[in-house]
């Protein structure tokens, strides 16, 4: 009988699901790392929330472990890389707490607009500070959303119920989806200048880190209220404090911080500042929902091999897995490539299947491609949630299949239509194609150019004009910066035309080197990609 360790608090109803399905459970909450390492070899499944941290050492000791289930969304406490190498499936429950988090954001807006915590403290201290607090109404004000996905759209719905206007900045929000939601799609600078309240609902990624920087906070409307119930690290906390102290920012309410647990933070003594200890998902309903979901998912996997909401493997049957796995890996890497070179959002995705792969079950392959595509901007996206996120964003997805492939036994091509914006006036299609050779994914086409190469863990991608001496100059620049070249793959349209270089390198180049490279006259685009 499979045995499951419940290492964080879980509802009795969820435990009952395991028992009803015939699984044995043991609950041990608050284990130290050494204690967890000692007992983990006895278990087939592990259930965690955020307190238990199955790191590489724990997973290395888990000789029988088959699955880790996170009752919630974030998996920062789980070493997914180590779990994958060990063959341990990692699952989460991505949709169980969206309503709860949206409600918390609305509550924080009201608390900030009416200075409720400070008024409460003064009243209970016996001061009766009636004249000290003059609030502002939220009705008919403009709410600026940074992110309008699963949670942001629910915040928008509730804000419009308060007669607020909603202006949303989200590169992945289409005009059609914005109309459906009843929000106005805007650029970031437009939103910053117009919003009376700004609420963040994006994951922490390289593209969203410090999105409310000092410069962007300076672009906001005087008297703005800032709310963050998403992730820490999205706001320059020092700049936010300065804005509160000067009175330029009227109030701020944060549920998340750059460093957690936030037992100390410079914002804590700032005027008109409200803090809660990461309570976005802390309701009985949300905790029950994610607990029940994780119990069902782990039971399904241990009893039948069914994979749901996995972050590190495709959702496929045992019979399909041997043939599908190489192509899901290829699709994920192609999608991730496209996602890393697409900064301005996109309106359409086309996935083409040629040859033998066209006759396989393409659903998990497409899901893997979309997960790779969305992950650079959306953060924790898995193969189950990715299609839903794409649909929710209103982005068109088209799949085509051709039984014959002119060159390869099987080929997958991904086309992404990038959106025209102020910073990306041309927009247009980005095209990548790949195949599987000897079980390994390979790139065979970039922007319509034939180019065979590897997905090196760290890859320098350069789009340049084909001129004599460029390759030598690029190699010399990397050499001078002590960056070792592992592989070098080239493609071009024609002599003197557009060219692509994919350079596998052993270490990440400095930002200064990338800037120098990007500033070269022949270079159209340069970026470091990570696979």
Reading the block at residue 134, the tokens are: 């003059």
Burial class (CB in 10 A: 0-12, 13-18, 19+), 515: exposed
Cα–Cα distances in Å, from 41 out to 35, 167, 261? 11, 51, 30
Range 494-499, long-range pairs (CB < 8 A, 24+ positions)? 494/466, 495/466, 496/465, 496/466, 496/467, 497/465, 497/466, 498/447, 498/449, 498/463, 498/464, 498/465, 498/466, 498/524, 499/449, 499/463, 499/464, 499/465, 499/466, 499/470
Reading the block at residue 277, the tokens are: 């200890």
Which residues, including other chains, have CB under 8 Å from residue 516's CB and lie 6 or more apart?
Answer: 477
Decide if 341 contacts 461 (C-beta within 8 A): yes
β-strand pairing of 458-465 with 523-530: antiparallel
Q: Which of 49, 70, 104, 231 is catalytic?
A: 231
β-strand pairing of 440-446 with 449-453: antiparallel
DSSP state of 447: T
Q: Which of 187, 245, 260, 498 is catalytic?
A: 260
Decide if 367 contacts 383 (C-beta within 8 A): yes
Reading the block at residue 369, the tokens are: 């491609």
Decide if 370 contacts 433 (C-beta within 8 A): no
Within 10 A of 495 (CB to CB), how many other CB atoms are there? 9
Residue 34 has, within 13 A of its CA and on its CB side, a CA count of 0
Reading the block at residue 195, the tokens are: 């919003």
Give yes or no for a cis peptide into 261 (omega within 30° of 0). yes
260 classed as catalytic = yes
Task: Pick the closest to residue 152 from 119, 196, 185 (CA basis).
Answer: 185
Distance, in Å, from the CA atom of 347 to the CA atom of 172, rounded to the nearest integer, reads 8
Query: What are the beta bridge partners of residue 465?
Result: 498
Distance, in Å, from the CA atom of 111 to the CA atom of 155, rounded to the nearest integer, reads 15
Which residues, including other chains, have CB under 8 Å from residue 184's CB and lie 6 or more apart?
Answer: 165, 166, 167, 168, 178
Burial class (CB in 10 A: 0-12, 13-18, 19+), 519: exposed
Q: Which of 70, 278, 362, 442 is catalytic?
A: 278
Residue 132 has, within 13 A of its CA and on its CB side, a CA count of 13
378, 459, 335, 394: CA torsion to nearest 10:
40
Residues that are catalytic: 231, 260, 278
């Amino acid at each position: 009988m499979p045995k499951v360790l419940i290492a964080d608090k879980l509802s009795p109803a969820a435990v009952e699901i395991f028992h009803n399905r015939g699984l044995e459970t043991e609950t041990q909450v608050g284990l130290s790392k050494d204690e967890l390492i000692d007992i983990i070899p006895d278990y087939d499944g592990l259930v965690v929330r955020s307190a238990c941290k199955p790191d590489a050492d724990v997973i290395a000791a888990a000789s029988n472990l088959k699955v880790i289930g996170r009752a919630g969304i974030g998996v920062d406490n789980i070493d997914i890389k180590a779990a994958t190498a060990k063959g341990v499936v990692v699952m989460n429950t991505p949709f169980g707490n969206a309503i709860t988090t949206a409600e918390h954001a609305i509550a924080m807006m009201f608390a900030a607009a009416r200075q409720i915590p400070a008024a409460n403290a003064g009243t209970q201290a016996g001061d009766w500070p009636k004249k000290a607090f003059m609030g502002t109404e939220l009705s008919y004000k403009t709410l600026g959303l940074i992110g309008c996905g699963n949670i942001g759209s629910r915040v928008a719905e509730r804000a419009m119920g308060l007669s607020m206007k909603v202006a949303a900045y989200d590169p992945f929000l289409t005009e059609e989806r914005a109309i459906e939601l009843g929000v106005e799609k805007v650029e970031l600078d437009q939103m910053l200048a117009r919003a009376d309240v700004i609420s963040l609902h994006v994951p922490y990624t390289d593209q969203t880190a410090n999105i409310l920087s000092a410069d962007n906070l300076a672009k906001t409307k005087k008297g703005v209220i800032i709310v963050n119930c998403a992730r820490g690290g999205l706001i320059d906390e020092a700049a936010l404090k300065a804005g509160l102290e000067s009175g330029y920012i009227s109030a701020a309410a944060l549920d998340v911080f750059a460093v957690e647990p936030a037992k100390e933070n410079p914002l804590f003594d700032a005027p008109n500042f409200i803090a809660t200890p990461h309570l976005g998902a802390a309701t009985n309903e949300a905790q029950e929902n994610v607990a029940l979901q994780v119990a069902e998912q782990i039971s399904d996997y241990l009893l039948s091999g069914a994979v749901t909401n996995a972050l590190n493997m495709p959702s496929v049957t045992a019979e399909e897995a041997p043939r599908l796995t190489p192509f899901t890996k290829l699709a994920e890497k192609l999608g991730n490539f496209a996602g890393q070179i697409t900064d301005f959002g996109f309106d359409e995705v086309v996935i083409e299947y040629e040859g033998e792969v066209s006759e396989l079950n393409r659903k998990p392959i497409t899901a893997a491609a979309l997960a790779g595509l969305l992950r650079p901007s959306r953060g924790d996206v898995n193969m189950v949630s990715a299609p839903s996120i794409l649909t929710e964003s209103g982005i068109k997805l088209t799949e085509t299949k051709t039984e014959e492939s002119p060159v390869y036994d099987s080929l997958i091509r991904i086309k992404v239509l990038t959106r025209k914006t102020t910073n990306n006036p041309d927009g247009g299609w980005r095209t990548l194609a790949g195949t599987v050779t000897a079980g390994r994914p390979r790139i065979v086409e970039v922007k319509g150019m034939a180019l065979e190469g590897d997905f090196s863990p760290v890859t320098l991608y350069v789009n340049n004009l084909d001129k004599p001496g460029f390759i030598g100059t690029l190699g010399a620049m990397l050499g001078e910066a002590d960056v070792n070249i592992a592989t070098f793959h080239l493609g071009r349209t024609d002599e003197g035309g557009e060219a692509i270089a994919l350079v596998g390198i052993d270490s990440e180049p400095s930002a200064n080197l990338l800037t120098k490279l990007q500033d070269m006259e022949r270079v159209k685009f340069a970026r470091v990609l990570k696979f």
